[in-house]
Structure 1
Amino acid sequence: MRGPHNIWRLIRTGATLERTGAMGTVLEAFDAPANLRIAARVLGWPFKWLGLRGDPSLPPVPRALTALGPAYIKFGQIMSTRPDVVGDDLAMQLRFLRDQLPPFPLETARMTISSELGLPWDEVFSELSEPIAAASIAQVHEARLKGSETPVAVKVLRPGIEKAFRTDIDAFYFAASMIEWLSPAARRLHPTEVIGHFEGVVLGELDLRVEAAACAEFAANTAQDAGFSVPQTDFGHSGKRMMTLQWAEGVPLGDIAGIDAAGHDRKALGGRVLQLFLSHALRDGYFHADMHQGNLKVAPNGDIVAMDFGIMGRIDEYTRRVYAEILFGFIRKDYRRVAEVHFEAGYVPADQDVDAFAQALRSVGEPIFGMDATRISMGKLLNYLFEVTERFGMETRTELILLQRTMVVVEGVARSLDPHINIWQVAQPVVEDYIKDSIGPKALVRDLSQTVRALSRFGPRLPQMAEDLLRTHNHNRQRQEAERGRNTLHPALWFAFGAVTTTAMGWLLSLV
């Protein structure tokens, strides 16, 4: 039954892309070969009348994806983080994809809450409002726990959303396999792997326990960050399909008039949001990967409040150090060092020329640094950098692509608050502090101490481990000697054989 259903979904998708005028844009973004373009147009055009219309006020691709439903909306949002796959123009268009859908009934939300908590909802909450925000996967209600006057936010998954996503993901896999079959050249884009990445992200968002844990980890990491706060998670009143959080009061960061009316310093907010993002990425290696204006508020006390932790980014310590050295090298215009860092990290193959690579990096940096300070873009720099490194054989690193995409979004937020912000001037102290703390003598001492601590945990087992290692070594040596013995004689046997042969020859000669 899955085959016919997937074929129907594919036809409906193609028809909608044709009807909304998005088909050509999508094919062009993926640089689809001729046979794939023909197949896509043949699949969509005859059934164009079956396609969904969508909102005509939206650009073609967001219009088509919004019409096709939640899974397509989420797919578009995630693909906006992968300009390496969809291209810069389409990625930029997808960043403005609307994530607003009609809310589902309040009674349905109450039933979900009761099922998750194992109690009637009104035994836990004294109030539960109509939905105040409805997105592709869940909607949010304002509520109050019994015996408390403090408001909380309750996020509830859409009914049947897991099954709906599973159905669409199956269709996406089917489409990816068809693309690979029709166009071997398109395999360079790894369509099946792209769908696998999408599936992994979505499955995490469909389990609100995962988001609750992400929120708690992010809150713990940033607890000492001045001027920044993360709502506390109420794990006691959360489950797989609903979660309860501290209510975030404040003005949305996209409401410039509201921020001005509240008397907040927009210039300070713009600098702070950028420095906070860089600090989270470099210091913690764990950052909010969806920091657009809709997920940020300004609290009455001036704090920036983050919300919605469905998409988070993680970078290991080694990659953070490499990333910081690359940024620091560009800040200092030390292109040779930036090139060396790429080679040392193994990002660029060793058979490439480091001087030619450094020259190519200079071609990236100099035009940008020649601009007026207010036009310098770190996100644009990283985008150009990826183009250059690709020419020198650097493979795509998904975690850096996500970082670059978030950097672009955060820059946009910062510039909306302060159009004259100097991105590099604001970023420099954060990068320099991280360099001093992580790539100097202090870092070496810390790394060595961590290594000693790791070894000390195995202290009681070290004698046995050494004995096992020696025993294994002796066993392997004996086996190798036995193996040689089957094919060649031991030197002592050769000596004995030679002695016997010589004696026998001498005895025979004495007879003659």
Structure 2
Amino acid sequence: MWRALRNLLRLCGSAWILARHGALAPLADIPQAPALALAARFVLLFRNRRYDRLRPGERLAAALSALGPSFIKFGQSLATRSDLIGEEQAHDLSRLQDRLKPFSTAIAKRMLEDELERPIAEVFASFEDKPVAAASIAQVHFAVTTEGEEVAVKILRPDIEARFARDLDLFLWIAELLETHWPWIRRLKPVEVIELFRETVEMEMDLRMEAAAASELAQNFEEDPGFRVPKVDWGRTTARVMTVERVHGTRIDDLETLIEKGHEPTEILRRAATAFFNQVFRDGFFHADMHPGNAFVDEEGRVVPVDFGIMGRLDQKTRYYLADMLTGFLTGDYRKVAEVHFRAGYVPAHKSVEAFTQACRSIGEPLLGRPLNEISVARLLAQLFRITEQFEMETQPQLLLLQKTMVVAEGVGRTLNPDVNMWELPRPMIEDWMREHRGPQARVREAATHAIALAERLPQIIETTDRVMGSLTEGGLKLHPETVARFAEENARRRRSFWPVWLALFIAVLALLFD
């Protein structure tokens, strides 16, 4: 009860700010919730009309900025969910600025000493008072260690954990209300969206997790000459402080400076595209916040990312699905695209494969015959996600995060060279990966793996069947004698049919040996 009362009062305050900015206007046109639509139309009477000239997404971004850090972060998270709020509003929210007034340097130094348990003079030879960045969760200062290393020090805002905890409880309470009172909205999984947001924020507020992400990404690219991740200083990193090597370089979108320094923009684009492809398909672990302010080019022409608070993961099954789906689109095999979706379980089995094939064709046909530099893979994915409601597709947050990341990546690519499609540059590597992982030989290896897994499980299945049969015939559950006899006959048949599995496994292994 107290939770409901507390959140109701906070909701009223937040709703008033949203109403003043005119951000509740989209709710006035929801036919499934007439009471909510009526309330939205009423509070819109009190809006500040200077916001009327803005698009709905811009009004929402302004309101979230006024509501504070948690709401800004939530707005940025919603920017990856065009399936929830529409592509135009998602685009407007993606431009939401995560910039806040910095907290005092005195507090920052005191927090550093508390976290590192040493006087600041014993840790840093110099520490710049003015922060170089101040966001909703933390701010960053440049410093020089006592060993003479230039570093960037990220420090959490005071009491940020408690503030986010209060706001996250409000978001979850609202999501639970939505699912309870409007069943039609459950397909969009509002509670799951908030839980995912909670996990993301909690990881962001433990700077050791961000440091670990940077370390993992660096390990993945140890042998890559065109992509370098700043080194983490673990001795000066805690849950509330992260210290990494300072990056000296040029913003990746500063074309004029890059050219002045002798860098070839198309080569930089190739390196960025290659690194992105390797992150997504080779490693299944990608930087999901690679806007121009988070990517630099160093003196050697290497792409250097910063800020590892938002990372995405794709399991192997999802990577294979994505590869098969994109191949189907680019070759015009829409039936393959549809079948991949059904096989992955993204579209319910009761839906029509033919109808979904037709929907995929409506997306892919406009692409055929167009120059590759005019084809946006990110836009293709966005169009695909738009048909989710019609075919009751389950929302796939990891793919939505990837799609929004690709939108940003393609924007950077167009800045570096508007006449080149960034996905065409690493084409030889992409083709090699496709042959290795999705070609005929890969299919044989996949079949062999499944056969081995089945072979390993069969003895356990047979043993379980024997145990169940024994319990059934020893007075547990009474069955007709003919039923028991049929069970025994089926068990014997399964034992006799065990040899085809080994035969299939043997053939698969031979195919690999004589490849």
- Residue correspondence of structure 1 range 19-58 to structure 2 within 5 A: 19-25=20-26, 33-42=33-42
Amino acid in the other structure paired with 1:431: I
Residue number among 482, 486, 502 corresponding to 2:474 in the alignment: 482
Deviations 1:30-86 (A, max 9, x none): 88733212234556766x69xxx9xx9993121111111100010011111111112
The one-letter amino acid paired with 2:475 is E
Q: How does 1:246-395 map to 2 (within 5 A)?
A: 246-388=245-387, 390-395=389-394
Q: Contact 1:233 / 1:245 at 8 angstroms: preserved in 2?
A: yes
Cα deviation, 1:237-276, whole Å, max 9, x if unaligned, reads: 1000011111111111233333233232222223332332
Aligned match of 1:201: 200
Amino acid at match of 2:277: L
1:484 shift after superposition: 6.8
Note the C-alpha offset of 1:424: 4.8
CA contact (8 A) 2:168 2:198 kept: yes
Aligned partners of 1:488, 1:305: CA distance in 2, in Å?
A: 72
2:119 aligns with: 120
**Cross-structure match for 1:500:** none
Match of 2:210 in 1: 211
Distance in 2, matches of 1:321 and 1:489, equals 49
Q: Note closer, same or farther for the CA distance 1:43–1:191 as it changes in structure 2 (3 Å cut).
A: farther
- CA 1:169–1:368 in 2, change beyond 3 Å: closer, same or farther? same
Compute the displacement of 1:7 (Å).
2.2
Q: Counterparts in 2 of 1:175-190, with a 5 A limit?
A: 175-190=174-189
| Contact 1:214–1:309 (Cα < 8 Å) also in 2 | yes
Paired residue secondary structure (1:165): helix
Q: 1:359 to 1:454 in 2, by over 3 A?
A: closer
Q: Distance in 2 between matches of 1:27 and 1:117?
A: 52
What's the CA shift for 1:182? 5.0
Distance 1:27 1:164, change over 3 A: farther
Aligned to 1:504: none
* Structure 1 residue 21 displacement after superposition: 2.4
Q: Give the TM-score of the pair, scaled to structure 1.
A: 0.84
* Distance in 2 (alpha carbons) for counterparts of 1:471 and 1:360: 47
Go from structure 1 to structure 2 and tell me whether the alpha carbon gap of 1:109 and 1:364 turns closer, same or farther (over 3 Å shift).
Answer: same
Contact 1:204 1:310 in 2 (8 A): yes
Distance 1:373 1:469 in 2: 51
What is the rounded CA distance, in whole Å, between the counterparts of 2:436 and 2:62 in structure 1?
47
Q: Relative to 1, partners in 2 of residues 1:41 and 1:438: Cα closer, same or farther, differing over 3 Å?
A: same
Aligned to 1:15: 16
Aligned pairs (5 A) from 1:102-117: 102-117=101-116
Give 1:469 shift: 7.8
What letter corresponds to residue 281 of structure 1 in structure 2? V
Greater Cα offset, 393-402 or 92-101: 393-402
Q: CA deviation at 1:294?
A: 1.1
Please report the TM-score for the alignment, with normalisation by the length of structure 2.
Answer: 0.83
The runs of 5 or more residues in structure 2 that have no matched partner are: 484-515
Measure the CA separation in 2 of the matches of 1:391 and 1:119.
59
Q: Distance in 2 between matches of 1:119 and 1:420?
A: 54
- After TM superposition, the structure 1 stretch with the greater mean CA deviation from structure 2, 17-26 or 410-419, is 17-26
Measure, in 2, the Cα distance between the counterparts of 1:88 and 1:485. Answer: 58
- Paired residue secondary structure (1:136): coil
Contact 2:28 2:38 in 1 (8 A): no
- The residue aligned with 2:94 is 95
**1:499 maps to what in 2?**
none
Q: Distance in 2 between matches of 1:32 and 1:14?
A: 20
Mapped to 2, the partners of 1:441 and 1:469 lie a distance apart of 31
In structure 1, runs of 5+ residues without a counterpart are 492-512
How many aligned positions are there? 478
Q: 1:422 to 1:318 in 2, by over 3 A?
A: same
- Matching residue's letter, 1:121: I
Matched residue of 2:474: which SS? helix
SS at match of 2:475: helix
Q: Structure 2: which amino acid aligns with 1:301?
A: E
> Matched residue of 1:229: which SS?
coil
In the superposition, relative to structure 1, how do residues 442 and 489 fare at CA in structure 2: closer, same or farther (>3 Å)? Answer: closer
Q: Is the 8 A contact 1:35 1:183 kept in 2?
A: no
Change (3 A) 1:364 1:424: farther
Cα deviation, 1:312-336, whole Å, max 9, x if unaligned, reads 1101111111111111222222223
Map of 1:418 onto structure 2: 417
- Verify the 8 A CA contact 2:187 2:394 in the aligned structure 1: no
Change (3 A) 1:186 1:487: closer
Answer whether contact 2:155 2:241 (CA < 8 A) is retained. yes
Cα distance in structure 1, aligned partners of 2:187 and 2:454: 43
Letter of the structure 1 residue corresponding to residue 137 of structure 2: I
1:27–1:437 Cα change, 3 Å: farther
Cα deviation digits, residues 172-229 of structure 1 (max 9, x gap): 1232234345544333333222211211111110111111111111111122223111
What is the CA RMSD across the aligned residues, in angstroms? 3.3
**Aligned counterparts of 1:72 and 1:196: Cα–Cα separation in 2:** 15
Q: What is the identity, as a one-letter code, of the residue corresponding to 1:308?
A: D
Query: Any conservation in 2 of the 1:361–1:385 contact (CA below 8 Å)?
Result: yes
Query: Paired residue for 1:135?
Result: 135
Give SS of 1:75's match: helix
Mapped partners of 2:211, 2:156: distance in 1: 13
Residue equivalent to 1:156: 155
What's the counterpart of residue 400 of structure 2?
A: 401
For residues 64-83 of structure 1, the aligned pairs below 5 Å read 64-83=63-82
Give the residue type in structure 2 aligned to 1:59. E
- Structure 2 distance, partners of 1:166, 1:27, is 30
**CA 1:473–1:189: 2 relative to 1, 3 Å:** closer
- CA pair 214-258 structure 1, distance change in 2 beyond 3 A: same
Equivalent position amino acid for 2:468 in 1? N
Q: 1:36·1:182 contact (CA, 8 Å) conserved in 2? A: no
* Cα deviation 1:143-176 (Å, max 9, x = unaligned): 111132x201111000010001011111212322
Structure 1 CA distance, aligned partners of 2:471 and 2:189?
A: 45
Matches within 5 A, 1:447-486: 474-483=466-475
Taking the aligned partners of 2:447 and 2:219, their CA distance within structure 1 comes to 26
